[in-house]
Amino acid sequence: MLIRIPIIKIQLYLLVFFLAGPMLQLKNVWAESILKDTEIIHWVSRGESLHKIARRYLPLTEELTVADLVEKIKLLSGIDGSLIRPEQRLLIPLVRSRPVAATTVPKQKDFEAKGIYLNRYTMATQKIQRLVEKLIAAGGNTVILDGKDMSGMLSYPSKVSLAGEIGANGSPVTRDLAKLIHYLHERNIHVGMRLVLFYDQLLATEKPELALRDSITAEPLVENGKVAWVDPSHPTVQEYNLAIAKELAEMGVDEIQFDYIRFPTKKNIEYAEFGSDGQNTPRDKIITDFLAQAQNELAPYKVLLSIDVFGIIAWGRAEDIEMTGQKVEDLAKHCDVISPMIYPSHFHRPFQGIANPNDQPYLLVSETSERFARFLTNSQATLRPWIQAFPLGTNNFDEDYVLEQLRALDGSRARGWLLWSAGNKYDVAWKALAKWEDVPLDTTISVSLYIDDSPVGYD
């Protein structure tokens, strides 16, 4: 059904649309109030689609996704279906005269974050709104979004030159990241942005001179059939990731979180060629020095700096530190938050006296958290673990499985928690949070963990 608007009203809309820009130079607040709840008219040009038009106006509307705006335009303009024709009149629901700018909301490093991970595909759809509302209802206050994932693709249109050169910003899932951050801030959500650092399939493929190389064959190292690892010691690799981190900080995120801040753990790393000094620099020094540089360069932005580390590192085994380069007591000096990935499924059986760690979520999370807390005793870093919200490795994954992990943290020195589900499926987690105060946990069973030579597993 076509909505009919009197000619006088149409003229008023057009007048506001064409005059609002100059007026904003002197009367920004006044112009914003004029545009509030105003529908301007867009006349369709040849070759335009609803999707293309919605993408153009999205920053000036209340809608969060292009799909949302398309539906709003169709409703206001009385359109059934998605076909439009040249010279057709569409109503666009503007609420502002210029794109919104998000601003970082500084937090103390011991801020008790309770959050979930949202991948770059969820960021582009209405699913993010549904998950955020459920998170809030469950008492959560934090989301960790993908800035750069394992593919090496960025989730937003970056202006970093190397990103454009290798095509990392070629298909951003959100073209207005500041608006998404602003929306989350309005919901009192702490916004962290995850950057996968040294596992970067795109950079390693497009710039093979930056890849870790096999010292025997001189070819880029291959893991699971892919060239994926770049050299953590290479200045270009470090500068690229720091440029992205600073760009995101300028956009108003509250936290930069580094993932894959390490060397690979596969056995072929023993033959990896990296650095320009004949590999005389220990891997942990390379990783720690990079983090120290990041801390220094991000300091002016007032964002929290957090890092993800392996849960197994809590046992302090020299071979684990040597292989990954993750020496927690040194890393803790150069970041605000340490987030160990304490997933029971990632501790291979048997582990430290436990026949099947997958079935001992409370024990694994409790013991691992306590060990990390000891590492951080003489630092200012906050412990905020990732815990398992996915069914891998266990036959009894339900709300009690998640609840046991949460309660283990509740009795530890950790400040908050982050739930990880790669596919962002959190239905079981919502049930666990709903039962948080209702079901007491029996913690009378005590199992002593000890350091031995049990096989150690990595993700």
Q: List, for residues 211-234, the tens digit of each pLDDT value.
A: 998 777 888 888 888 899 999 999
- d(CA 233, CA 279) in angstroms, rounded, equals 10
| pLDDT at res. 272 | 62
* Overall domain count for the chain: 2
Mean pLDDT of 81-107: 92
Task: Evaluate whether residue 292 is within a structural domain.
Answer: yes
Task: Evaluate whether residue 453 is within a structural domain.
Answer: no
Question: Considering 50, 67, 94, which residue would you say is the last residue of a domain?
Answer: 94
Task: Indicate if 138 and 49 belong to the same structural domain.
Answer: no
Task: Indicate if 297 and 177 belong to the same structural domain.
Answer: yes
pTM: 0.86
Q: Which domain holds residue 274?
A: 113-434
Residue pLDDT, tens place only, 280-300: 789 999 999 999 999 999 999
| pLDDT at res. 27 | 32
| pLDDT at res. 24 | 35
pLDDT, averaged across the chain = 86
Task: Indicate if 49 and 143 belong to the same structural domain.
Answer: no
Task: Indicate if 184 and 144 belong to the same structural domain.
Answer: yes
Please choose, from the candidates 249, 254, 327, the residue with its C-alpha nearest in 3D space to the C-alpha of residue 289: 327
Least confident of 60-69, 219-228, 434-443: 434-443
Task: Indicate if 120 and 90 belong to the same structural domain.
Answer: no
Task: Evaluate whether residue 441 is within a structural domain.
Answer: no
Least confident of 14-28, 147-161, 403-417: 14-28
Task: Indicate if 46 and 193 belong to the same structural domain.
Answer: no
- Taking 60 as the threshold, does the pLDDT of residue 16 lie above it? no
Q: How many CA atoms lie within 13 A of 380 on its CB side?
A: 8
Q: Beta strand pairing status for 272-273 and 304-310?
A: unpaired
What H or E segment, with its residue span, contains residue 41? strand 38-43
Task: Indicate if 284 and 425 belong to the same structural domain.
Answer: yes
Three-state secondary structure call for residue 281:
coil
Task: Indicate if 167 and 62 belong to the same structural domain.
Answer: no
Task: Indicate if 323 and 422 belong to the same structural domain.
Answer: yes
339 with 307: CB under 8 angstroms? Answer: yes
Task: Indicate if 259 and 380 belong to the same structural domain.
Answer: yes
Say which CATH number the domain at 411 has. Answer: 3.20.20.80
Task: Indicate if 90 and 123 belong to the same structural domain.
Answer: no
Task: Indicate if 192 and 328 belong to the same structural domain.
Answer: yes
Task: Evaluate whether residue 101 is within a structural domain.
Answer: no
* Partners of 387 in the β-ladder: 342, 419
